[in-house]
Amino acid sequence: MHVSRAAWAPSALQALIVAAGLLPARARAAPAEPRTIELRWEAPDGCPPADEVRSEIGRLLGTSAQRQAIAVEIAVARRGGSRLRLDLRVRAPVPGERAIHGDDCAAMARAAALIVAMSIDPDAAARNAAAQPAQPAQPQASGGDGAAAPRPPPPAQGRAQRIPPPAASRPPPTASRPPPPDERGVEGALWVSAQVEQALVPAIGVGVAAGGGIRAGWLRADGAAGVVPSSSGRIAGLTAGADFRLWFLEVDACARALGRPLGVYVCALGRQHWLLARGREVDEAFTRTAPIFAAGLGTVLEWRVAAPLKVEGALHALVPLQRPRFVVENLEGTVYRPPAAGLSARLGLALAF
């Protein structure tokens, strides 16, 4: 068929117009820069891998316009039996942290991913969470028609805050909010530390201590035992003296004065000591053990390195209630007598469970 020049011109013009109209749409359809999600994931066997959690965060954010780099630390630890605790800490774009308790690691991991996504873009997270397969219905409070769950506000910039839970997990408005799980739960701990003693030995001695206790809200109680194996003293102006060894049992009761990231406790303690002295460079060998009870006040500092491991340090001022005098028979002068007050310190590691 022959097509005249006049017939071709309008068709070519229409094609150009259509093509020009498509150009902006193609430009808008260009893929956005990939989102960086830096995830540090620690979990026991049976939990989802890190890639699955990272993918879930990315899926919930979807095509969100918020493209800041995301840095998250998540640690899951067993608390006895099938009970699990998930500690979530967002490093960027806005710092925040939260703890989740449960029995299903996969469900806890999904909840953590949702919390992270909602802290960055609540609209995108809510929209994409609604698109996933239906989950078993959550118990609802009785009453009339349920209103849509309120959307959590965007986090304030430049200030660390506690990440709010997803709206679906909040209690109904009429229900009283229970305390956070990490504030009401009871946590056990075992610790071991280096011990530096000045209060009840002639010269500063270094030993070891170990103990354990419980943490419940802002309270903690500990029991410990320790030994300072070697310290020595002598009569002034003479070589005669004694070598000393110190054992002790200690009970502490503490109240938390400061929370995270550094836990600070103020403590009262009682300590029973047994101070053993063996004569050194004396005519007649002797051994003497004196029991000494001391009371004290001090502070304990704890820093969570990675769940469930903590670094703990303590400094106590002690006042001995007995001050026995260690002397050598037939020689004038005192080998050692405990001072009216002194210091005791320790630094070590604690394992929470």
Question: What is the distance between the alpha carbons of residues 351 and 250, in angstroms, rounded to a whole number?
Answer: 19
Any residues with CB less than 8 A from the CB of 36 and at least 6 apart, and which?
69, 70
Rounded to whole angstroms, the Cα distance separating 256 from 198 reads: 26
Q: From 279, 271, 210, 209, select the one nearest 244 (Cα to Cα).
A: 279
How far is residue 107's CA from residue 104's CA, in Å, rounded to a whole number? Answer: 5
Write out pLDDT tens, residues 217-269.
889 999 999 999 988 888 877 888 889 999 999 999 999 988 777 889 999 99
Tell the residue number behind the tokens 């993918």, with chain if given: 55
Mean pLDDT taken over the chain: 78
What would the pLDDT profile of 242-253 be if each residue is shown by its tens digit? 899 999 999 999
pLDDT by residue (tens digit) across 176-229? 444 444 444 688 999 999 999 999 999 899 999 999 999 888 899 999 999 999
Beta-bridged to residue 340, according to DSSP, are none
> What type of residue sits at position 34?
P
Residue 203 to residue 197: CA distance in whole angstroms: 8
String of DSSP letters for 285-352:
--EEEEEEEEEEEEEEEEEEEETTEEEEEEEEEEEES--PPEE-TTS-SEEE---SSEEEEEEEEEEE
Contacts of 294 by beta carbon, 8 Å cutoff, 6+ apart? 199, 200, 270, 271, 273, 318, 319, 320, 321
Separation of alpha carbons 102 and 111, rounded Å: 11
Measured distance between the N- and C-terminal CA atoms of the chain, rounded to whole angstroms = 87
340 vs 120, higher pLDDT:
340
